[in-house]
Amino acid sequence: PDRLGALPLGVRLLREHLAPSSAWAGYTRALPGAFASPFGFRDAQLRALKCEALVRHVLELREITRALAAAAANSTTELARTAFPSTRPSASDLTWACAAAASRALPVRGGGEAEPALVPLLDLCNHSAEPTAELVRDAATGAVSLVALAPLDAGGSVTVHYGEIGSEERILRYGFVDDDDPADFVSARFDALIVDTAHTLGEALPPGSTLRVGAPDEPAWPPPP
């Protein structure tokens, strides 16, 4: 599973980073050696997040990067022949590349749905829930432009929106959450027994009744209209 789409971009980024004469060498070598996202967290740091879905995704990605590193180390595999013909990356190399791709890729709109892309220099734009610019790709030429959404003051910050994603995915990609983002959401998973019990209680209660859960001073559910 690659919910973030980081693997294809990460492999391409690492290929350019390790290539002895890559045209993108200046860009890849300027990238940080570590990122604040959970990709590089130690096990104890992951457990401290107390988010099962997020931890599970990081662990799955670790397994995938180890498998990719093993494939890249075997000169007979297609990955080794096409992506890494001269240099064999380690699992740590691939983890770094995936973290870089996930945290630096920005949504680029090009006629359809926005897709993540690595755009040197423009990836320095910070996130804002009320951005002053957006990235737009020309469908014919592939060129990416930074288009202002409002008048900009000289010396002011140019911000973009990192996409309508929830807090879990935002911290997974970028290592932070945005408390002021109106598009934010959280995912929740309920045990089937809880759902069945709530359904049974709902059928047993008289019409118009409210179900109070938790301490007596907590609001009833459903809330009054």
Write out the chain's pLDDT in tens, 225 residues: 445 567 888 889 999 999 888 899 899 988 988 887 787 788 888 888 777 888 888 888 888 888 888 998 888 888 888 888 878 888 889 889 988 888 888 777 766 677 778 888 888 888 888 899 998 888 788 788 889 998 988 888 899 888 777 777 788 888 777 777 666 655 566 667 776 777 777 677 676 655 555 444 545 444 555
31 & 100 share domain: yes
3 & 65 share domain: yes
For 18: left if phi > 0, alpha if psi spans -120 to 50, otherwise beta; the answer is alpha
Total domains in the fold of the chain: 3
Residue 146 near residue 135, CB atoms below 8 Å: yes
133 & 112 share domain: yes
Q: How far is CA 23 from the centre of its chain?
A: 26
27 & 70 share domain: yes
12 & 90 share domain: yes
Residue 75 near residue 82, CB atoms below 8 Å: no
Which residue range forms the structural domain that includes residue 86?
A: 1-104
> What burial letters (b/e) apply to 129-156, b meaning 16+ CB within 10 Å?
eebbbbbbbeeeeeebeeeeeeeeeeee
21 & 58 share domain: yes
21 & 83 share domain: yes
Whether 179 is covered by a domain: the verdict is no
158 & 73 share domain: no
Give the three-state DSSP class for 72.
helix
